[in-house]
Amino acid sequence: MPRPISENVHLSDPERARLEALVRAGSTPQALVFRCRLILRSAAQDKPTNLEIAAEFACNRHTAGRWRKRYLQHGLAGLQDAPRSGRPRSFPPLTTA
């Protein structure tokens, strides 16, 4: 079975504290919580591969690799949802009866 090569994630104490705070906060969107937990796990001492992380989180190894790569490139901002293409939603004006 191949071992995918993945870059190591090194977190400073403030970065780790910020990620853990987002995971604990009740108002954080669950997609962001998942991504933060994934980054915290990838920064663990045993240096897990994307395949091992994917098995633990029940996701695809490409998903684990994508979020690891985006965090390494952009930091915490990389874990936010990317802007969607296309026309923004428009809602009709409110009408009063």
The alpha carbons of the chain give a radius of gyration, in whole angstroms, of: 17
Task: State the pLDDT at residue 24.
Answer: 95
Closest CA to 35 of 83, 77, 5: 77
Per-residue pLDDT band at 58 (split at 50, 70, 90): very high
* C-alpha span between 97 and 88 (Å, rounded): 27
In the chain, the percentage of residues whose pLDDT exceeds 90 is: 67
Domain ranges (residues) in the chain: 18-79
* C-alpha span between 38 and 32 (Å, rounded): 10
52's tokens:
């091992």
CB contact set of 71 (below 8 Å; sequence gap of 6+)? 9, 35, 39, 78, 79
Q: What mean pLDDT do residues 80-93 have? A: 82
10's tokens:
């090194």
Task: State the pLDDT at residue 81.
Answer: 86
Task: State the pLDDT at residue 4.
Answer: 53
Residue count of the chain: 97
For the entire predicted model, the pTM comes to 0.79
